[in-house]
Chain A
Amino acid sequence: AQTVTQSQPEMSVQEAETVTLSCTYDTSENNYYLFWYKQPPSRQMILVIRQEAYKQQNATENRFSVNFQKAAKSFSLKISDSQLGDTAMYFCAFPGLSGAGSYQLTFGKGTKLSVIP
């Protein structure tokens, strides 16, 4: 079974600064995907960034980038030039294949990020 661990329940960052959210996972699969989701207060959860495990290049989406270390099973999210709108819960997630042939997302507990003006 897959596990996903986010060791930082809460973090804060000054506006315009850079922050890194950590995530580690455990799986016996060799080829897989990893996701970071963002849920702003009282709003829907949205996909921030996706990483394919067989790609050595780290994924980047504008101010969001990941540091993917496959051997260490680490998948951290870096937010550059933090903005007030980045205040949200951030979830690391792993889509694992269940016995019923369905991909189920395994989530970490989340990191509550506050961007301070």
Chain B
Amino acid sequence: EAGVTQFPSHSVIEKGQTVTLRCDPISGHDNLYWYRRVMGKEIKFLLHFVKESKQDESGMPNNRFLAERTGGTYSTLKVQPAELEDSGVYFCASSQSRGARAGYTFGSGTRLTVV
């Protein structure tokens, strides 16, 4: 089966611009997660979709970040306008179940650099 796919793998944008990251989960996985790793820090949870609904968006840093999952398939994470502190690696993960036992399947991440 295809894994979790993220586009683009790298993105360099200027401060104030807009960037949209995309994640295609494993087919049939209702649960989709976004995580972020800022340089030198831990990987942090951003939000969790169950199908097209946001189950938990407590990790979203501010209203410059907008996540969508129309139709419950792929998801996008838009940053508008981007700031320097948004630089980091953005990971997407998916799972069939949402229990603690679920070993999420991660994508390779999108490395975002804001200059």
Question: What is A's interface to B at a CB cutoff of 8 Å?
Answer: 4, 32-33, 35, 37, 42-47, 50, 52, 91, 95, 97-110
In angstroms, Cα B44 to Cα A106, docked, is 7
Interface size class of B (residues with CB under 8 A): 20 to 34
A36 to B: closest C-beta gap in Å: 10
Contact call B100/A45, Cβ cutoff below 8 A: no
Contact call A100/B56, Cβ cutoff below 8 A: yes
Looking at chain A's contact residues, the main secondary structure is: strand
Given A91-B43, A98-B56, A98-B58, A103 contacting B100 (CB threshold 8 A): yes
B69 within 8 A of A: no
Given A32-B100, A45-B91, A107 contacting B43 (CB threshold 8 A): yes
B90 within 8 A of A: no
B residues within 8 A CB of A108?
42
A residues within 8 A CB of B100?
32-33, 95, 97, 103
A77 to B: closest C-beta gap in Å: 15
A97 to B: closest C-beta gap in Å: 7
A residues within 8 A CB of B58?
98-100
Chain B CB count within 10 A is highest, among A33, A46, A50, A105, for: A105
Interface residues of B in 17-76 (CB under 8 A from A): 33, 35, 40-45, 48, 55-56, 58-59
A residues within 8 A CB of B105?
47
Given A101-B56, A105-B45, A44 contacting B102 (CB threshold 8 A): no
Given A42-B108, A45-B91, A98-B56, A103 contacting B43 (CB threshold 8 A): no
Chain A CB count within 10 A is highest, among B40, B55, B107, for: B55
Given A33-B100, A50-B101, A104 contacting B109 (CB threshold 8 A): no
Residue of B with least CB distance to A99: B58
In angstroms, Cα B44 to Cα A107, docked, is 7
B residues within 8 A CB of A44?
3-4, 106-109
A residues within 8 A CB of B42?
4, 106-110
